[in-house]
Every structure is written in structure tokens, then in C-alpha cells.
Amino acid sequence: MTGPEADELTVGDEVDVEVGPIAHGGHCVARHEGRVLFVRHTLPGERVRARITEGGPGDRFLRADAVEVLTASPDRVPVRCPVAGPGRCGGCDFQHVSTEHQRRLKADVVAEQLQRLAGIEREVLVEPLDDEDGLRYRTRVEFAVVDGRVGLRRHRSHEVVPVTGCPIAVPEIDEALVETLADVERTRGELDGISALDIVVPSAEADTVVVEVPTEEPTPPIAITERVATPAGERVLGVDARGFWQVHRDAPRAFVGAVLAAADVRPGERVLDLYSGVGLLSVPLAEAVGPDGQLIAVESDRRATEHLRDNLAATPQALVVCGRVDDLFGVPRRGRRRGPRRPARSDLLPPSADVVVLDPPRTGAGRGVVEALTSLRPRRLVYVACDPAALARDTGYLTGLGYDLTGLRALDAFPMTHHVECVATFEPKGEDARP
């Protein structure tokens, strides 16, 4: 196939390319006459016809979709969703990939990011959770509402692809969506003023919750309960219907187990749980330190903090601090011009800690927060990461500050997508190690 020269490529042009390695973000790297293309809906080793979707002459790289497979990978499978593929729903990156190979691709990305950004060579294995072939695991889905249409957004777009269900969602979500759409049609109801429908299947309740998200005002609080197993027994935690909670039905169990094993908390210790949400990890950590220890949980979202306090009410050894982690440690915020003085460090945070657990947002903790955490000289630091690049950057900071990456588990909490959750363990190097 002939086509435009590489430096003339623009949106809509098509070129045939050999597909190279997987990259962070759900696409593969290809080159056309030396020009870099990030191509979705393909696999390493394939030859595809790629249609440019973003970029043009002068741009450093272009984005593209594989609209025709010329030579297929043996790991390619038929898509398991009617709206997956080029120009359709942007929620799933790997519907065309066998679930086993999806995990290998994610492992490659984690390993590549650690090597490139932290200088660490490490073999990575991505562990499956309790799902059936990567389907029917998601207990929370937000469906967009645009001009009366309900669906999921196209990749990197505000456009909506109408749907009546989602194959990665638990069946109750499909049932609730169909019933809601039928109610709107039967009553000739309007969806004006509604930007989204959040459908949630709480693990500790019998009913499915449908939240109509207003376009121009905050969503009122809707308290629900979720169930999680801890070493001390099953616990029921309160959370807002639109608040943060792991979407995979098996993720709470898996994350609690992975973090507790990595932290190896001893009775009587002081533990910090940062970016703690409603306390998925705080509750079992507080139980682990026991009545003679201390658990300090830090969360910035006020609605989540209210639930956090309630969820920790039975553990008097737990202290809840509401605020941003960087602010509380006196770290200037990213992108904010520094004044003549650094922010004051909060007196609510201790001068030392035995164990630090952190689950920062996708952007990571950052150098300033990492420096503040290592100044506490914890014997163990457990980092829960939803972004391999952010984890690798912060790993580089930690190794430069005297901590070794001594453990790493990667969990496939988001099958059919490029996302992967990691639990990394860091300990002081050599002579700095504490008993």
C-alpha cells in the first residue's frame, strides 16, 4: 500500500506498519519511515494498517488505530464486546488479546518502566484475580449522558457510544442499566441536567444503586456499605456511592492480603496509612498494630474522611487526619509558585514511623513527599501504585535516598484494560536497615 510521506501524515491517513513493543498506555510502538506511531488495537509482532487519529506534520509522534490486521499475532482473540475496537468505546484496550497474554504485556510495561525510570532490572509477574476470563468483574460503572444518549465515551473523546450493558461489569449493572433506560422510555422521562449515571453494586447490600449525577451541582452524598475480609474477620465499611472504592469485586481481598504481607506489621508499632480513602487498608492495619500501637490515617477528601472516622471507630489506637499529604508534610505543591517560606509541617504527624503505607493518586507521590517519608526512617515502606510510570519515578527517588526495592507484586485488577495495580515493598539499604 502506498501512502503519504512520513512527515506529511495527518488525521485520516492510513499506512501499513510493523508493530513493535507494548508501551505504557495501552498502545504499541510502530514506525513509518522513522516516524513514531502509537497504535491501539494491535499486538507486538503484527503487521497492520494503521489510521492516524491524532497528530500531524511537525508533531513528535502520532496516534493511530489498527483498522485492519494484515498479519495477526497468535495471541489475538475475537473481541468480547460489541462496541470494542477502533472508533468505538475507549474503556478497554485489550479486548482483542487473550487474558493470559494481557498479563504478560502488563508485566513487560512494569518491567520496562522500572528499568527506564529507576534503573532497576526486575522480572515481573502479573497475578490474576478471581474473575472469569477477565469478564464480569467490575462492580462500578459510570455511563455518560450526552444529548439524551446513555453510553460510554470513545477513546480520548467526549463523544458517547450508546450501550445497553458492559461485558466487564457484573450482571447486576447490565440489569440496572436496562431497567433505567426502560423507565426513561416508558415515562417519557428526561435526562436533562444529568451528566452521567453511576451504577454501583455494593458487596454488603442486596440492592443495586443508580446515581443520577447532576451536570451543574454537586452530587448529594449517598452512603453504601462494602464488605472486606481481614485477618481479624470480615468487616463492613461505609463509603459514598461515588467515592473511591476498588472496582474489581475481588480487589479488596487481594489488596488487603498483599499489603499486610508486605508491611509485616508488628503489635505495638506506629504505622502511617497515607491517601487512605475510607480505610480499606487502615482498618486491618489498625487491627495489626493492636491496642498498644498507633495507626495514623491521612485522607484529603472530606466525605471520605467522614466514612474513614466511622470505619475506624472501633479501633481507638487509630488517628484520622484530614488533609493533603504534601501539605501536612510541609512539601510545596507541584505547579504552585513557592513563596519565601515552605509550608509548615503539621504537628499531627509523628517524627518517626515503623511502617509507612501509601496509595497515592495516578501521578504518584513525588520527590518532596518521598523525601519526607524517608526522613521518618521506617523499617518498611509499602507503596500501592495504579500507574507503573509513577511507581518507577518514585522508586528512583527512594533508591537514591537509601531504600531498596525488596518486593513487588503486580495484580490484574483491571482485565481488558492496560491498567495494573502494583504493591511494592522498600526497606533501608545495608547498614541503615532496622531490626
Domains identified in the chain and CATH numbers: 6-76 (2.40.50.140), 126-130+223-335+343-432 (3.40.50.150), 140-214 (no CATH)
329 CB-side CA count, 13 A: 26
Q: Where are the beta strands (DSSP E) in 279-317?
A: 294-299
For the question of residue 386 being annotated catalytic, the response is yes
| Among 35-49, 123-137, 329-343, the least confident range | 329-343
User: What is the H or E stretch that residue 226 is in?
Assistant: strand 223-230
Nearest to 268 by CA among 293, 248, 251, 305: 293
Q: Write phi, then psi, for 162 (nearest 5 degrees).
A: -60, 140
Q: Is pLDDT above 60 for 338?
A: no
Q: Is pLDDT above 80 for 434?
A: no
Q: Is pLDDT above 90 for 187?
A: no
- What per-residue confidence (pLDDT) applies to 108? 98
- Percent of the chain at pLDDT above 90? 90
d(CA 61, CA 53): 11
CB atoms within 10 A of CB 130: 11
Write the pLDDT tens digit of every residue in 106-149: 999 999 999 999 999 999 999 999 998 999 999 999 999 998 89
Q: Is pLDDT above 80 for 1?
A: no
Q: Write phi, then psi, for 330 (nearest 5 degrees).
A: 75, 30
Nearest to 88 by CA among 65, 56, 63: 65
Cell numbers given for 301: 477528601
Cell numbers given for 371: 523525601
Query: Would you put residue 42 in left (φ > 0), alpha (ψ -120 to 50) or beta?
Result: beta
Tell me which residue has cell 504478560.
Answer: 104
- What per-residue confidence (pLDDT) applies to 341? 57
User: How do 421-428 and 403-412 pair as beta strands?
Assistant: antiparallel
CB atoms within 10 A of CB 196: 19
Write the pLDDT tens digit of every residue in 201-228: 999 999 999 999 999 999 999 999 999 9
Residues in the chain: 435
Residues 6+ apart with CB under 8 A from 389: 24, 113, 117, 364
Strand partners, 54: 63
Write the pLDDT tens digit of every residue in 384-411: 999 999 999 999 999 999 999 999 999 9
Average pLDDT value for the chain: 94
Q: Is pLDDT above 60 for 264?
A: yes
- What per-residue confidence (pLDDT) applies to 430? 80
Q: Which of 81, 89, 166, 386 is catalytic?
A: 386
**What number is the average pLDDT over the span 233-258?**
97
Write the pLDDT tens digit of every residue in 296-311: 999 999 999 999 999 9
Better-scored residue on pLDDT, 278 or 337: 278
- Percent of the chain at pLDDT above 70? 96
